Amino acid sequence: MGSWNDFNDAQSNANLIPKGTLAKVRLTIRPGGFDDPAQGWTGGYATRGSTGAVYLNGEFTVLEGQYARRKIFTLIGLYSPKGPDWANMGRSLIRGMLNSARGISDKDQSPQAQAARRIGGFADLDGLEFVARIDIGTDAMGEEKNEIRAAVTPDHRDYARIMGTAGAAAPTFSSPAKQAAYDAQAPAPAGRPSWAD
């Protein structure tokens, strides 16, 4: 507890998750009711702001670790009247999220990888679980806030551990019985999607 005449040790915002933290998160899209079928924006997921910008209103919930259940709110840009940069950043983030969620290297250009980076619509992103790199930005009031600007793909050494995927990172055991006990306590992977076979 700092003293009340010296504020050098006061936390600017103690609630922030430190910049660069990697965490498994689930994306929930808060629907904004804006559709543009010509762009493939259907289902009421997109939001159109007062400036004419269109975005997905993302709520990312940390699933595990010391920040579990914390929510991070980040807009995923779809269109800005100011130019292509915001939409390009949004596309890049979504590509990373799909790579991360579906266990695909960003460098993988195989037909399976390309198929895994396609979505039928924004509904495919709602509920997506992936490994995020947590950043710090500022809100409209100039206050610091956490944001998500990048996903972590299987190329990253910490990906398997955070995603909870077995494989190369899984420990090896001296006996089948120990292996079985470990397997039993590991969470069962959700049904393997067809493109992963």
Contact of 101 with 115, CB cutoff 8 Å: no
Q: In angstroms, what is the C-alpha Rg of the chain? A: 20
12 in a domain, yes or no? no
- In this structure, are residues 106 and 92 in contact, taking their beta carbons and an 8 Å threshold? no
> Is residue 196 a part of any domain in this protein?
no
pLDDT of residue 21: 96
Phi/psi region, residue 85 (left: phi>0; alpha: psi -120 to 50; beta: rest), is: alpha
Asked if residue 174 belongs to a domain, the reply is yes
Domain of 44 in residue numbering reads as 22-188
First-to-last C-alpha distance (Å) of the chain: 55
Average pLDDT over the chain reads 85
Question: Based on the structure, what is the number of domains in the chain?
Answer: 1
Residue 177 confidence (pLDDT): 59
pTM of the model: 0.77
Q: Is 49 part of a structural domain of the chain?
A: yes
Q: What is the mean pLDDT of residues 151-178?
A: 71
Q: Does 193 map to a domain?
A: no
Q: What is the pLDDT of residues 83-127, one digit of tens each?
A: 999 999 999 999 999 999 999 999 999 999 999 999 999 999 999
Residue 86 falls inside a structural domain: yes
